[in-house]
Structure 1
Amino acid sequence: MKPRKKFIYQLLPRLLGNTKTTNIPNGTLEENGCGKFNDISDIFLNQLKESGYTHVWLIGILAHASATDYTRFGIPAEYPEIVKGNAGSPYAVRDVYDVDPDLAVNVADRMGEFEALVEGIHRAGLSVIIDFIPNHLARNFRSVNLPEGAEEFGSNDDTSVAFSPQNNFYYLPGEELEIQFPVRKKAEITYRERPAKVTGNDCFTSKPTQFDWYETVKLNYGVDIQNGYTKHFSEIPDTWKKMRNVLVYWAKKRIDGFRVDMAEMVPLEFWQWAIPQVKQEFPDMIFLAEVYNPDAYRSFLSQGNFDYLYDKVGLYDVLRDVACGYRPASDITFALNGVGDIQHHMLNFIENHDEQRVASDFFLKDGKRGRAAMIVTACVNLNPVMIYFGQELGERGMDEEGFSGRDGRTSIFDYWSVDTIRRWNNNGRWDGALLTDEERELKGFYADLLTLCNRETALSNGLFYDLMPANYENMAFDSTRQFAFLRGSAGELILVIANFDDHEVEVEVNIPPHAYDFFGLPCSGSYNAMPLLAGNGSGIVFLANDPVRVKVAANSGELYKISSF
């Protein structure tokens, strides 16, 4: 049976395959090295498949502005002063029809190398997701790989007006761009932009600060933002047509899905118009939206035609606070109820490229302490789950790479190699021989958990039943530090218990008669609960009207397969 749950492995190819150990802060590509498309080898991909993953999300595939000179390949020179870091942000795309030359062994054949990677991912039985960045482009955008019949963004714009529905950008007529850098850096700037374009984070000034998305320019979808956000859609805006064509271009490269960056900064009407057109030709294409406004969730699903949305401001934020001891575990119930009717459309995660690493000094300081949160994340429903590369090794993200400081995140802006990934890589062997025992153990935990979620029908297809209400007044169960629920399907029942405490606990979990009725099981007789993660084969026998008494490890949890006998 093909699993219904999707497990997405998010990775940055620039860092994944880089085995160079130089790691000079603010180092160049030549100094620090860079991973390539072909570093994502069959060996690596087969490991992902065997570990339970179904999809690979590749970050930084689209050609983005960087400080590296590729003019000998016909790629225009960049302006380092408007590039964040030497490698540049993957979200400041300079050519929507090209792949990043950093990732190619033979730059002239970079698209062929990318297509070979897509083929390899499919050969491993995995699906491919790439970013689609609809809200903005790199400040010094320029396409060198325009398909026949395509036009450059802004090529027909009337730059004498601040807004026109058929312009691709917003302008500040008569004003020159003057980014508010420190005085020393200002003296180095050679980039000129007149009239200034509006900056990507809706910054309508010619003087964006270093804290704005100053390396990007905002795309115009026919919304006059400065005049009450009035919409001009009677004639399809030119930007709509161009961005639809970009989606179709990449879909024809056999991409299986798009993670859509900052989808809510683009009018919902565009998604209503564009996604059905793409899906008409590519019906299995998935669209995953980065959206942070819960009030907009249902509109993006029912009207905007998205398949999945980030569950960042709900489950992620709550799980982080619970794991850190800032909120009671019972608050997880409220987070789930907030998206109860759309839960299976929410993407769950405890790490991504924007958030701090679980093992960082800013979060839990140790990857093992994130196991309880990961168990809830992976098992709570049918929805897709994402793991960020290195998360399963306890990567700490505490390097000071250059543009990125020591902030608990792995840099997306710098040329660098990641210690845990580099040791797992072991010069392309991907055998983990250089990992520590603790790292191998954590990696095994993730693989076991994902495998269970795909193997057990109750987890991949089953219904959810929250046990917290039945245990709020249970003196043998601490609802501030433990969370428990059931998953069941077709006669299978699994009890999931997560312990967010820093010590092992012995708890008693009440399963109310209604729960047995809900899953069509008898409310009397004896049951056996067999642990699935521990793998010690020692089951627990209990009566249907009695609580289940179990021990749960610190910062971890267990899954018990329940059967009658």
Structure 2
Amino acid sequence: MYFSFMRNWIQIFAILVLAAVTAMACQRETEQNLEELAMQEQHKVVVYQVFTRLFGNTNSTNKPWGTIEENGVGKFSDFSDQALEEIKKLGISHIWYTGIPHHAVIRDYTAYGISNDDPDVVKGRAGSPYAVKDYYQVNPDLADDPAKRIEEFEALIARTHRHGMKVIIDIVPNHVARKYEGKNNPDGVKDFGADDDSSEEYKRDNNFYYIPGKDFQVPEPLEDYQPLGGEDHSLADGSFDESPAKWTGNGSREAQPHFHDWYETVKVNYGVKPDGSLDFPQLPAEYAEKDYKAHFEFWKDKDVPDSWKKFRDIALFWTKKGVDGFRFDMAEMVPVEFWSYMNSAIKSENPESFLLAEIYNPNAYRAYIHQGKMDYLYDKVELYDTLKNIIQAKGSTDNLNAIQSGLSDINKHMLHFLENHDEQRIASPEFAGNAQKGKPAAVVSATIDAGPMMVYFGQEVGEPGAEDAGFGKPSRTSIFDYIGVPQHQKWMNNGKFDGGLLSSEEKGLRDFYRRLLNLTLYSPALAGEYDEIHSYNREYTEWYNDRIFSFVRYSKEQKFIIVSNFDAAESFGFELQLPKDLLTKWALQDGEYPLEERLYGNVNPSLIVENRTARVRVDLKPLESWILELK
């Protein structure tokens, strides 16, 4: 009996040891494969958006309306060499540092020559990054020494470049903070509004629109709202001195905007009259087909509104400091002709600059790409919104084909994402309640076309954005408050940036994103052609349904078959088929072709081609995707 027990125990122990050795070997193989990928040519762009104020914060107090002392704040220096190296290893080519320009904050920096901001016209205590107070300086919260804050940011730019990544920051041309004070303007640069004639609602070279004869009034607060959560503050008195009142950032022409208006900002005038007519030179239609050099030449001798010149100079100031590109907030609220002027100037300084527009009107997409010379646009209202519905089991994968077909001429310009600072976290109950449910959508977003993929920090470890931060509420990580980001903090592990506090499931999620994003960066097929095979399989393949989505991506060097299961509960098995015209494009003759699964490598099926038909057996677990490479 004893010897039988020992023999069984030894067998079990041997199996466990073998499993551990196998796991270690697989891990080493994965590391080796990722290192080999990183040495290859980059074929796509992958953006990592970080909310700079939150990234390095290790404080977990998370008191609503908490101060820096209570809740902590991240710094430029938290982006250490180790942190940047781990971001790079995730499969990232560009970091979008959100919240860099100096915006209004409720903190006393008067010792550094900065005036105090009024809580009545600041959202939150830490302030909105989209209410910029000084475009020639950076947020003092982010510096170890606020007196040297711009030097510390320049050092971060240099560190990021050393780790092989490019730097993106925001420019918010549609509006500025209610109390804009450019105290760091270069020689010869006048402040916004310095030369305005405020007795007139509109003049072409005024930087703002005015409401003559009326003083600004703070919005009527919502029933449960008090600035700073009701804390006493010398400036929180329900008033703000602005006479005459200016138009509010979202276009409100009321001296007392609504609480849901962008009341902390004022709208910038680009030469658009109050009746909507344009007061600047028009860009000839044929310039839609011309490059940025021709656009730059067109504007060289044109008289343009003063606000155009101010924002061009701001963009060039940061470009010369090494910033590699910009994310332009609410770009469609600014005339497309201005973007032609602005972007051609930026490209003339740095032809490789990355220019991304936040835009939500599909009817304007092509104008902002061709006339406005944008590199990339948000693909929010089409791909993101459709994928969100599919993740929530409210929509069908059948709806994806029309989107790709409709964008076929510009899809390389569309930036895809599942999270950003404006959107709900996937793991939040208000979205999916489980970060794993985003995995098939991430595969589709990252691989469906040649456009860039973007990941928001914390997405890769399942951050749910559950904190009641003060002004910011759960489901979205607050951009207005000093707050910690718990899941991200577990990965950060007190500055080790090694994921040491993550659960095995959370580590697995980050490993999924790491595999996917590295494959995205370095696969030539994903910069090549796209064919949908979903509709063909919906018609001809048994058990294939509208919780599945499939397509192919290919180039001369590489051919992928990509199939994803969006169902969180059901597994699906079927014979996936390739249409006959694809067999011709791929020059496939009758025979058996080995396929390698590139995401995890745990299946190696074969593509069977006979009598001008092609099929591959697919067995997908819930939320599983296969990226099959034809060998």
Shorter-normalised TM-score: what interval?
over 0.9
In the TM superposition, what is the alpha-carbon distance from 1:541 to its structure 2 partner? 5.1
Select which of 26, 41, 44 maps to 1:2: 41
User: Is contact 2:440-2:625 (8 Å) kept?
Assistant: yes
**1:50-69 alignment to 2 at 5 Å?**
50-69=89-108
> Once structures 1 and 2 are overlaid, which stretch shifts more, 186-195 or 244-253?
186-195
Residue in 1 that maps onto 2:455: 387
In structure 2, the residue matched to 1:28 is 67
> Displacement of 1:456 after TM fit?
2.7
The answer for the alignment partner of 1:222 in structure 2 is 271
Aligned to 1:458: 525
Question: Deviations 1:340-361 (Å, cap 9, x if unpaired)?
Answer: 1000010011111111011110
| 2:369 match | 301
**What aligned pairs does 1:247-266 form with structure 2 within 5 A after superposition?**
247-266=315-334
- The partner residue of 2:491 within 417, 424, 431 is 424
Measured after TM superposition, the shift of residue 475 of structure 1 is 4.4
Q: Which residue of 1 aligns with 2:477?
A: 410
Residue in structure 1 matched with residue 596 of structure 2 by the alignment: 530
1:553 to 2:602 alignment: no
Paired-residue identity, %: 43
TM-score by length of 2: 0.86
Secondary structure at the residue paired with 2:311?
Answer: helix
Task: Please tell me whether the aligned partners of residues 82 and 215 of structure 1 are also in contact (alpha carbons under 8 angstroms).
Answer: yes
The alignment partner of 1:105 has SS state of coil
Question: Residue 217 of structure 2 contacts residue 255 of structure 2 at CA under 8 Å; is this kept in 1?
Answer: yes
Give the counterpart of 1:435 among 494, 499, 502. Answer: 502
Structure 1 counterpart of 2:249, one-letter code: G
1:472 paired to 2:538: yes
In structure 2, distance between residues paired with 1:254 and 1:72: 29
- Which one has the largest radius of gyration? 2
Q: CA deviation at 1:22?
A: 1.5
Deviates more, 1:420-429 or 1:198-207: 420-429
What's 2:202 paired with?
163
CA distance in 2, matches of 1:201, 1:214: 8
Distance 1:355 1:320 in 2: 11
**Which of the numbers 313, 319, 339 marks the counterpart of 1:271?**
339
Is contact 1:513-1:523 (8 Å) kept?
no
Residue equivalent to 2:573: 506
Please tell me whether residue 280 in structure 1 is matched to residue 348 in structure 2.
yes
The residue type paired with residue 93 of structure 2 is: T
Stretches of structure 2 lacking an aligned partner (at least 5 in a row): 1-39, 228-235, 282-301
**What letter is aligned with 1:257?**
G
Partners of 1:221 and 1:267 within 8 A in 2: yes
**Any idea what SS the aligned residue of 2:411 has?**
helix
- Is the Cα–Cα contact under 8 Å of residues 423 and 432 in structure 1 kept in the other structure? yes
Deviation at 1:29, TM superposition (A): 1.2
How far 1:463 moved relative to its partner? Answer: 1.1
List alignment gaps of at least 5 residues for structure 1.
none
Is the CA contact (8 Å cut-off) linking 1:256 and 1:285 kept in structure 2?
yes
Question: For residue 209 of structure 2, what is the amino acid of its counterpart?
Answer: Y
> Deviations 1:270-300 (Å, cap 9, x if unpaired)?
1111211221122111211111111111111
Question: How much has 1:553 moved relative to structure 2?
Answer: 1.9
3-state DSSP class of the match of 1:9? strand
Distance change >3 Å, CA 533–CA 337, structure 1 → 2: same
Q: Is 1:518 the counterpart of 2:585 in the alignment? A: yes
CA distance in 1, matches of 2:604, 2:533: 23
Alignment check: 8 A CA contact 1:507 1:551 kept: yes
Partner of 2:257: 208
1:317 maps to what in 2? Answer: 385
Q: Kindly report which structure 2 residues correspond to 1:473-492, keeping only aligned pairs within 5 A, or say none.
A: 473-492=539-558
Cα shift at 1:91: 0.4
CA deviation digits over 1:136-174, x for unaligned, max 9? Answer: 000011011111111000000000000000100000001
2:127 to 88, 108, 112: 88
CA contact (8 A) 2:605 2:616 kept: no
The 1:13/1:491 distance shift into structure 2, 3 A limit, reads closer
Partner Cα distance (2:42, 2:125) in 1: 41
Distance 1:185 1:405, change over 3 A: closer
Q: Does 1:141 align with 2:180?
A: yes
Q: Does 1:176 align with 2:225?
A: no
In structure 2, what residue type is equivalent to 1:444?
A: D
Contact (CA 8 Å) 1:260, 1:287: kept in 2 or not? Answer: yes
Given that 1:308 and 1:347 are in contact with CA atoms closer than 8 Å, whether structure 2 keeps it comes out as yes
- 2:562 is matched with 496
**2:77 maps to which of 38, 44, 55:** 38
Cα-to-partner distance string for 1:441-483 (whole Å, 9 max, x where unaligned) = 0000000111222333222x22111101211213424341100
SS at match of 1:494: strand
CA distance in 1, matches of 2:86, 2:345: 35
Q: Is the 8 A contact 1:330 1:479 kept in 2?
A: no
Q: Does 1:197 align with 2:246?
A: yes
| Letter in structure 2 aligned against 1:508 | E
Choose which of 397, 400, 423 in structure 2 pairs with 1:329. 397
Moved more, 541-550 or 489-498: 541-550
- Partners of 1:405 and 1:7 lie apart in 2 by 28
Greater helix share, 1 or 2? 2
Q: After the TM superposition, which of the residue ranges 131-140 and 180-189 deviates more from structure 2?
A: 180-189
Give SS of 2:540's match: coil
Question: Judging changes above 3 Å, is the alpha-carbon distance between structure 1 residues 320 and 404 closer, same or farther for their aligned structure 2 residues?
Answer: same
Q: Is the 8 A contact 2:592 2:606 kept in 1?
A: no
Matching residue of 2:117: 78
TM-score (norm 1): 0.96
**Considering only aligned residues, what root-mean-square deviation do their CA atoms show, in Å?**
1.5
d(CA) in 1 for partners of 2:629 and 2:393?
29
| Residue from 319, 332, 349 that aligns with 2:417 | 349
1:130 corresponds to which of 169, 181, 186: 169
Alpha-carbon contact 1:347-1:384 (below 8 Å) kept:
yes
| CA distance in 1 between partners of 2:113 and 2:269 (Å) | 28
Partner SS, residue 454 of structure 1: helix
Could you tell me which residue of structure 1 aligns to residue 139 of structure 2? Answer: 100
Cα displacement string for residues 61-114 of structure 1 (whole angstroms, at most 9, x for unaligned residues): 000001111011111111011110000000000001110000000000000000
Deviation at 1:185, TM superposition (A): 5.1
Q: Aligned partners of 1:313, 1:232: CA distance in 2, in Å? A: 30
Deviates more, 1:492-501 or 1:474-483: 474-483
Quote the residue 1:117 is aligned against. Answer: 156
Aligned to 2:358: 290
Distance in 2 between the 1:343 and 1:536 partners?
31
The aligned counterpart of 2:279 is 231
Q: Which moved more, 1:138-147 or 1:466-475?
A: 466-475
State how far apart, in whole Å, the 2-side matches of 1:523 and 1:473 are: 24
Deviations 1:345-388 (A, max 9, x none): 10011111111011110111111111000000001111111000
Structure 2 counterpart SS, 1:347? strand
Q: Which amino acid aligns with 2:45?
A: K
Match of 2:505, SS state, is: helix
Following TM superposition, by how much is the alpha carbon of 1:180 offset from its aligned partner in structure 2, in angstroms?
Answer: 2.3
Pairwise CA distance, 1:190: 4.0
